[in-house]
Structure 1
Amino acid sequence: MRFTNAEVIILDLIRHGEPVGGRMLRGTTDHPLSELGWQQMQTAINDLLIDGNPPWDAIVSSPLSRCREFSLWLGEQHDLPVTIEPALAEMNLGAWEGKTHAEVRAFEKDTDRQAALWTDPSRTSPPGGENVEAFDKRVGAAWQGLLEAPSGSHLLVVCHLFVTNAVLRQVLEQPLSRILAFDLPYAATCRIRHERHALGETSLVEWIGR
């Protein structure tokens, strides 16, 4: 705790494991986890258990099956309440949905909008997909909702690569051009500690990609 007499909330974010179909620009395409994806998630979660027990009071999950199914299973295993939060769904990638990176490059032909998105998302959005600014506002609202948890709460948030990036952008107060600064692998985790104190409220990143 960095601030005297602070009220603390701990939020552990985990990206889903590998879905069926392997690596692609999946967006809101609702593929379940592959067998490897389940193993990746179980391994990552086991690293966070304390003497075999979960440190969390509750689980909050994206509605997409690659997050939701594991969250419901984990909640049942450890008798934890699970909330499905629609605003934590991955960014809609429009015409790129369900395509590999190579297929998107071929689809774009003479342009490389995919590279432009990673370079500066504030200037580029997937064709027919979700506007980056609107996506950031959606995830930001979900993030503020998570911070309304009671003091002492420890939540596990099961979500996506772009969603995790958007949350970290909120915490680090980076410009929208840096909303995709973290290229986290499947089942990567990070921990954020939010403290309410006499000077206001502060979110601190404890670790990323553990």
Structure 2
Amino acid sequence: MRFPDAEVTTLDLIRHGEPVGGRMLRGTTDHPLSERGWQQMQEAIEALGREGPPWDAIVTSPLSRCRQFAHWLGELHDLPVTVVPDLAEMALGEWEGKTHAEARALEAGVDRQAALWSDPSRHAPPGGEAPASFDARVGNAWQALLARPPGRHVLVVCHLFVTNAVLRQVLEQPISRLLAFDLPYAATCRIRHERHALGETSLVEWIGR
């Protein structure tokens, strides 16, 4: 601990594994995990809990590629599972369910995907959720989780953009850095939140294992 006598909550974030249909701009399109996706998540969870599952509770996005695994893991280890709607992935509008190439073909030579990755403060998916609104939505869910954690060690099953939004807020980066981390399927991160005499502090232990 950085702060003596702090009250500590540890939060492990895991991105979902590969969904059915392979890599695409999925957003809120509700595809379940593929067989490979289940394997990726099981391997990641085994690596996190080599000495037995350390979590007191699981929190999950409502989308199938997160929710189904969270409920399976909760039943396996008798852990409570809470579905948080605001942890759903960013809505991608016209890009939903399309491959990166198919989405670029809609843009008539303008690479709006590259623009979004470069600076989400100035660009948004066509017909989709504004990055600032998405960031605020995830931020509200994250702050509620910190204020009322369901245990001392919590697993959060979520998405690439959601993980990015959480890390952006913990690191206090500008919205232009909202999508700074390009994490693979089933990548994990750990954040330690400490309540102490001077207030509250969130610390990143590691990103992207």
State the TM-score, normalized to the length of structure 1: 0.98
Cα offsets for 1:119-164 (capped at 9, x unmatched):
0000000111001110000000000011023596100000000000
1:5-84 → structure 2 map (5 Å cutoff)? 5-51=5-51, 53-84=52-83
2:128 is the counterpart of 1:166: no
Q: Distance in 2 between matches of 1:148 and 1:32?
A: 30
CA contact (8 A) 2:57 2:151 kept: no
TM superposition shift of 1:4: 1.2
Matching residue of 1:188: 187
Q: CA RMSD in A?
A: 1.0
* Cα distance in 1 between the residues matched to 2:23 and 2:42: 19
Counterpart CA distance in 2 for 1:120 and 1:150 is: 32
Please give the alpha-carbon distance, in whole angstroms, between the structure 1 residues aligned to 2:83 and 2:49.
Answer: 22
> Structure 1, residues 65-122: CA drift from partner, whole Å, max 9, x if none?
0000000000000000000000000000000000111111111122111100000000
Cα distance in 2 between the residues matched to 1:49 and 1:117: 35
SS in 1 for 2:122: coil
After superposing on structure 2, the runs of 4+ consecutive aligned residues of structure 1 that deviate more than 6 Å are none
**What are structure 1's unaligned runs of at least 5 residues?**
none
- Aligned sequence identity (%): 79
Give per-residue Cα distances to partners, 1:146-191, cap 9 Å, x unaligned.
1023596100000000000000001000000000000000000000
Structure 2's unaligned 5+ residue stretches are none
Q: Secondary structure at the match of 1:201?
A: strand
Contact 1:16/1:41, CA 8 A, preserved across alignment: yes
- Which amino acid counterpart does residue 85 of structure 2 have in structure 1? P
Please report how far the alpha carbon of residue 198 of structure 1 lies from its aligned counterpart in structure 2 after TM superposition. Answer: 1.1
Secondary structure of the structure 1 residue equivalent to 2:154: strand
Give the total of aligned pairs. Answer: 209
What letter matches 1:27 in structure 2?
Answer: G
Q: Which residue of 2 aligns with 1:104?
A: 103
Q: In 2, Cα distance between the equivalents of 1:150 and 1:107?
A: 43
Q: Is the 8 A contact 1:88 1:142 kept in 2?
A: yes
| Alpha-carbon displacement from aligned partner over 1:1-21 (angstroms, at most 9, x marks no partner) | 000111100000000000000
Contact 1:26 1:97 in 2 (8 A): yes
Alpha-carbon distance in structure 2 between the residues aligned to 1:149 and 1:190: 20
The 2-side partners of 1:11 and 1:139 are apart by 15
Task: Report the TM-score, using the length of structure 2 for normalisation.
Answer: 0.98
2:197 and 2:173 map into 1 onto residues whose CA distance is 25
